[in-house]
């Protein structure tokens, strides 16, 4: 039990560090889509709802499964769709030359 | 370790890599969309692996799977419909809403794990502690984010709300939540205690966000986003699911960084924002700007502005909250296109917190087809303000207040756009009412500045009409 805890803690801490490293390189221009994209990633809680379903064996369990699944699905589907909608606008083909020329 | 467990572990590893690569690609506009899709791919892998494992390992009752499917259908369709129909100006409250349901889901998963283990296998400390933490954090994010979303939407007044004794109830809620939490770890199998944790945390979430002013709400949304990440990671600890631990930690880190950067750009500390409404300076914001010398204001007409624009070479548009609130991004882009077609160089100076949350202005302008290359960040814009013939400030205030360079006022030290260094300045603004900081802005009384009092949308429409006359004439 304690071995599992420690390996999970190690994964947690290292993921935090990777998160700090990756996120701090994102420019302010993209912060809104990034926040929305990160928001979608915590929709992985839908996997937790699946585990809940596999354990549920009583009416109370079914109700909790439904609640967890509905909330998680709104998070994960909505999160990815709205982020994609935003980023699609950033990625429109632009006929204007880039202005790298006037950078020092 | 069975073959199945090995396969699931491998799938979670793949999902984790896809999440990190996806976030990494979000650092440039050209790759960001692909990054989000890759992250979504990671999500599919993680969830499918969990489904396969759950079916093969535990099985579960048919009713539970039906409940899951119904829930997924209900929540999923709600999320997709809202995501596809939301107006770009309303993005902040939708992000907050999705954050709320994520936190609620995390709390529900932990709560269910506890309830489903009331009989049979006793939960060890390594499960109980994360379960209680998850219920606590998840519930706070759920109610807190709902309130923040309501404030951004305008359903709940965006001014700081407080009532006598709020602070006492707040502290009491924390004490009760923590106390019941500790007790439910010490005496497992007691669901009543966990319900107390749940309710006290929900109350705390509401009371934590109500006193926070609307302008600070995006910072709170970001902070609560970090909380949800932690709650999901805790759920991962509780049910021993590495995909949830990794994803939760990544989001926790993202939310934390964003919160700190945002607070810095607004010249506020996270602590003072969280404690914001408790009688510290926020009342000033509604009182008006004392000391603004209204006698020196030079008002201009749409025609005056059109002449200036038509004869300029370099124009810098400085969009602010007012533009976002009036949804005038398309008008601003139309004006810019008109001028660009006439051979005038037009660019946008975008403050990190312009709009309603960091980077929101970029989303709005992208929606209006403004090329990414025309959007300058703070440093890039400040390097070229000297060469601008005219800076057109649309609904921005504190982010270009030159007093930020002087000590001893609420915006001192805040990074600002050096609009006052442009050769001339035009400000489109509805009235002389102060910005969020509640102080006068000397830019508006500068001899170089012309004020045009109008709603951003209508004002820009009038200017476009006037410019067309000069350009086509």
pLDDT by residue (tens digit) across A34-70?
Answer: 999 999 999 999 999 999 999 998 999 999 999 999 9
| DSSP bridge partners of B391 | B316, B425
B122: tokens are 């006793």
Question: What pLDDT score was predicted for residue A53?
Answer: 93
Question: What pLDDT score was predicted for residue B290?
Answer: 55
Residues of B in contact with A18 (CB under 8 A): 20, 250, 253
CB pairs under 8 A between A and B: 417
C-alpha dihedral over A67, A72, A75, A78, to 10 degrees?
-90
Give the integer Cα–Cα distance in Å for A87 and A74. Answer: 20
CA distance A69 to chain B (A): 5
Q: What are phi and psi of B317, to 5 degrees?
A: -90, 130
CB B365 within 8 A of CB B371: no
Q: Do A69 and B244 touch (CB under 8 A)?
A: no
Does the model's ipTM exceed the 0.85 cut? yes
B101: tokens are 């349901």
CA distance A88 to chain B (A): 6
For the annotated catalytic residues of B, the residue numbers are: 398
Q: Do A42 and B232 touch (CB under 8 A)?
A: yes
Q: Do A38 and B23 touch (CB under 8 A)?
A: yes
Q: Do A98 and B373 touch (CB under 8 A)?
A: yes
In the predicted model, residues of chain B with pLDDT beneath 70 are: 1, 59, 120, 275-293, 473
Q: How many CA atoms lie within 13 A of A41 on its CB side?
A: 40
Give the integer Cα–Cα distance in Å for B201 and B256. Answer: 21
- Nearest chain A alpha carbon to B142: A71
- Nearest chain A alpha carbon to B29: A90
Between the two ends of chain A, the Cα-to-Cα distance in Å is 58
Give yes or no for residue A100 having a pLDDT over 70: no
CATH architecture of structural domain B294-472: 3-Layer(aba) Sandwich (3.40)
- Please state, for a pLDDT cut of 90, what percent of chain A lies above it: 64
Give yes or no for residue A27 having a pLDDT over 90: no
Question: What pLDDT score was predicted for residue B263?
Answer: 82
Q: Do A78 and B27 touch (CB under 8 A)?
A: no
Domain segments of chain A: what residues? 31-90
CA distance B430 to chain A (A): 26
Residues of B in contact with A87 (CB under 8 A): 29, 32-33, 36
Q: For testing the chain A interface, which of B359, B364, B367, B368 should be mutated: the one with the most A CBs within 10 Å?
A: B359
Give the integer Cα–Cα distance in Å for B291 and A101. Answer: 44
Domain segments of chain B: what residues? 103-274, 294-472
CA distance B445 to chain A (A): 30
Residues of A in contact with B253 (CB under 8 A): 15-20, 23
Question: What pLDDT score was predicted for residue A47?
Answer: 96
Give the integer Cα–Cα distance in Å for B382 and B304. Answer: 26
Residues of A in contact with B58 (CB under 8 A): 54-55
For residues B358 and A10, the model is more confident at A10
Give yes or no for residue A97 having a pLDDT over 50: no
Residues of B in contact with A72 (CB under 8 A): 71, 75, 101-102, 105, 109
């Amino acid at each position: 039990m304690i071995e599992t805890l420690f390996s999970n803690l190690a994964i947690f801490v290292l993921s935090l560090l990777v998160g700090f490293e990756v996120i701090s390189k994102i420019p302010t221009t993209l912060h809104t889509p990034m926040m929305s994209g990160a928001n979608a990633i915590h929709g992985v809680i839908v996997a937790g709802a699946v585990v809940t379903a596999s354990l549920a064996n009583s009416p109370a369990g079914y109700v909790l499964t439904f609640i967890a699944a509905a909330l998680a699905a709104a998070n994960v589907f909505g999160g990815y769709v709205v982020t994609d909608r935003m980023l699609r606008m950033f990625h429109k083909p632009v006929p204007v030359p880039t202005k790298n020329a006037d950078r020092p | 370790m069975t073959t199945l467990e090995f396969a699931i572990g491998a799938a979670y590893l793949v999902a984790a890599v896809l999440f990190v690569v996806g976030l990494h690609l979000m650092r440039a506009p050209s790759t960001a969309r692909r990054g989000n899709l890759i992250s979504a791919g990671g999500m599919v892998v993680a969830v499918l692996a969990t489904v396969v494992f759950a079916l093969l390992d535990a099985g579960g009752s048919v009713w539970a799977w039906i409940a899951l499917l119904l829930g997924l259908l209900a929540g999923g369709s709600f999320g997709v419909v809202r995501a596809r129909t939301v107006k770009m100006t309303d993005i902040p409250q939708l992000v907050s809403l999705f954050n709320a349901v994520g936190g609620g889901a995390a709390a529900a998963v932990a709560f269910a794990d506890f309830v489903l283990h009331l009989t049979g296998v006793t939960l060890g400390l390594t499960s109980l502690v994360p379960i209680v933490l998850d219920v606590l954090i998840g519930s706070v994010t759920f109610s807190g984010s709902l309130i923040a979303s309501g404030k951004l939407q305008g359903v709940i007044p965006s001014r700081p709300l407080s009532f006598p004794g709020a602070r006492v109830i707040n502290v009491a809620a924390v004490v009760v939540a923590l106390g019941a939490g500790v007790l439910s770890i010490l005496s497992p199998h007691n669901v009543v205690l966990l319900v107390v944790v749940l309710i006290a945390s929900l109350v705390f979430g509401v009371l934590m966000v109500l006193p926070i002013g609307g302008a600070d709400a995006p910072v709170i949304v970001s902070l609560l986003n970090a909380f949800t990440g932690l709650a999901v990671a805790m759920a991962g600890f509780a049910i021993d699911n590495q995909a949830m631990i990794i994803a939760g930690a990544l989001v926790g880190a993202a939310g934390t960084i964003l919160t700190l950067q945002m607070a810095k750009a607004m010249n506020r500390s996270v602590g003072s924002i969280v404690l914001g409404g408790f009688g510290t300076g926020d009342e000033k914001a509604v009182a008006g700007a004392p000391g603004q010398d209204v006698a020196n204001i030079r008002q201009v007409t749409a025609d005056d502005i059109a002449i200036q624009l038509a004869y300029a070479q370099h124009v810098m548009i400085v969009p602010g909250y007012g533009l976002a609130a009036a949804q005038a991004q398309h008008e601003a882009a139309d004006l810019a296109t008109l001028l660009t077609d006439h051979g005038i160089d037009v660019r946008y100076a975008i403050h990190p917190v312009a709009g309603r949350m960091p980077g929101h202005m970029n989303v709005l302008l992208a929606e209006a087809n403004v090329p990414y290359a025309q959007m300058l960040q703070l440093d890039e814009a400040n390097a070229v303000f000297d060469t601008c013939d005219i800076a057109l400030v649309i609904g921005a205030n504190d982010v270009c207040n030159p007093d930020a360079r002087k000590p001893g006022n609420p915006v001192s030290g805040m990074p600002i756009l050096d609009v006052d260094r442009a050769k001339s300045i035009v400000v489109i603004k509805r009235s002389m009412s102060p910005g969020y900081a509640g102080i006068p802005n000397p830019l508006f009384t500068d001899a170089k500045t012309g004020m045009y009092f109008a709603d951003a949308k209508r004002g820009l429409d009038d200017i476009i009409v006037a410019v067309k006359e000069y350009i086509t004439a």
